[in-house]
Structure 1
């Protein structure tokens, strides 16, 4: 392999003078990913606010940060970046209270449907916010490495992209999901659709089917989708969260196949969730041998460093592009909406024998 194939970039450049971070929301994702990532990267978190005062106090004490007594107190922090680690239904109300022109990072998804995403986009525009959505899979070490392989020319022209997941997801860890109309694509596979957009651009359309399972309490836990790109690109996604037959044949991988090379990566956090297994990245040049590229970190929590650094660097003028801006994220939400609309339509019937 060439040198760039052996050592592709796996991290986003650090912000030179990062602003203080104020976290709004104190759910499990904050303690499991946001706070460990920011501490690892030396990004300064000054405090946290959650409607649950006990949770606010507990998380703040564990991480040595200020427990804000109210949202108004939290957003009064000067020169802050606001990390909205909130359920999608809460984003718009908080955005409307942020200081005009403030930078903000919104937890994905950007609303529960496209109508909410549009309302959030308009609210962010009206407040003149510099706002991004936390589609952090783009910033994971494995995906930064694959993107570097792609932009360097090592993959050649991408012609085939596949996400395949045959896993057992413990939905009971999120009791609030029970009764939600939309679950699997909106809260899980949205990452994969966003990543395909990141590499391939916006598709012309999507064919999708999402459905539940007799042994799960959430509305959907299995999805198949084909993204419609101009030839020669084929992009597909197959997700089954109900493979409850032990770890032997569970898998979760992305394959990016080009005219010159192919990269396959394991998304380890989805195997034996939430403990997970290590991510892996393998690369093969046409005519060569498969070689493993050592990874410098994992999706959780390392990817959360990159998405915050991109926002911090963008507001400081160090990055030219805000990779997951609300403007770009709206397009991912439009793709999600199209997937649900496709799933709701009847399939083309097979002709009856004459």
Structure 2
């Protein structure tokens, strides 16, 4: 079998999961890497093998590179993906697809004119617990899904650096960690079309750099004085099929613990995907909580990325469908942008 030649663009923290998964995949040859920081490019190339490219243009001009993972700052995702597609490469681009809806629309137009696979990094769609639940939903066991609840709360989780700089990130917890649970619920609901969005954001607590009694992840360019993104975002989204979704997410909140909750509810049953997979139904006038006997009842970081990369490679080789196409990334950007617009305007936003 022909192996897929892959390169990774941007070798910060999340790129490690891409590199690890590619290196372990039997149908992949890891051709090389590029990062804006030359020293980091060389170090990562030495660690994982492959070529240390001197520029993005050099990488995209290499015919040995058939596909790329884009793991850069949010504000560069769409532009680099567009450039890669035009160079004839398949693309796995980390979420969010872009910083703006216009950028996402431009990329989607480029992809529509090509035959390239472009997959958005909605990694939680690919996790074992999500795949299991999707089989129940697709079989109609929950009936029509009419409500979903998505929660990703960090009480002390502002990573700082570019994550806290809206000019590069496009926002805070909503666009960083909230998007994971928002997308997962939307995907499990069958990707209905959003029609109205009502959102609220708050920026009252900031970085909270003075709290030193608890450890947290900090990026390499962490600056305790920098944070112009929201601390908290909440939203209610209504869809064209009458369903609704409630979202809450934070980097910083006076909560007793972090919370990760994903749940969907149908007219024949419901399910909680996080913090652990549980299916709820009725039989003989009795409510049943069903605990599927599976290896992973919650999201596992390495398994999720292995599965995501596996699906991407299969799609590139023509051996599997696209699970997270660029169109879904565009629709997610419309929802995220509408939440921010609603919060700024203090009113509900009606989507076209």
* TM bin (shorter chain): 0.7 to 0.9
Task: Give the length in aligned residue pairs.
Answer: 316
Change (3 A) 1:143 1:124: same
RMSD over aligned Cα atoms: 2.7
Change (3 A) 1:202 1:245: closer
Question: Which of 110, 114, 125 is equivalent to 2:97?
Answer: 110
Question: Which of 149, 174, 194 is equivalent to 1:185?
Answer: 174
Shift of 1:317: 2.7
Question: Which of 156, 167, 186 is equivalent to 1:197?
Answer: 186
Q: Who is 1:61 aligned against?
A: 46
Question: Which of 221, 227, 243 is equivalent to 1:233?
Answer: 243
Aligned equivalents of 2:90, 2:172: Cα separation in 1: 28
Q: Who is 1:35 aligned against?
A: 19
Shift of 1:49: 1.1
Q: Who is 2:267 aligned against?
A: 259
Q: Who is 1:140 aligned against?
A: 127
SS in 2 for 1:59: helix
Contact 2:201 2:340 in 1 (8 A): yes
Contact 1:85 1:107 in 2 (8 A): yes
Shift of 1:18: 4.8
Shift of 1:52: 0.9
So what's the TM-score if we normalise by structure 2?
A: 0.79
Shift of 1:281: 1.6
So what's the TM-score if we normalise by structure 1?
A: 0.79
SS in 2 for 1:22: strand
Say whether residues 1:281 and 2:270 are aligned partners.
Answer: no
Q: Who is 1:339 aligned against?
A: 339
Q: Who is 2:317 aligned against?
A: 316
SS in 2 for 1:301: helix
Contact 2:152 2:261 in 1 (8 A): yes
Aligned equivalents of 1:47, 1:346: Cα separation in 2: 47
Shift of 1:126: 5.5
Which runs of 5 or more structure 2 residues have no equivalent in the other structure? Answer: 208-226
Q: Deviations over 1:120-158 (max 9, x none)?
A: 333444665432221222112221122112112232222
Where does structure 1 differ by over 4 angstroms across 4 or more consecutive aligned residues?
A: 125-128
Q: Deviations over 1:220-247 (max 9, x none)?
A: 1211111113576332112233245554
Question: Which of 160, 164, 170 is equivalent to 1:174?
Answer: 160
Shift of 1:323: 2.4
SS in 2 for 1:214: coil
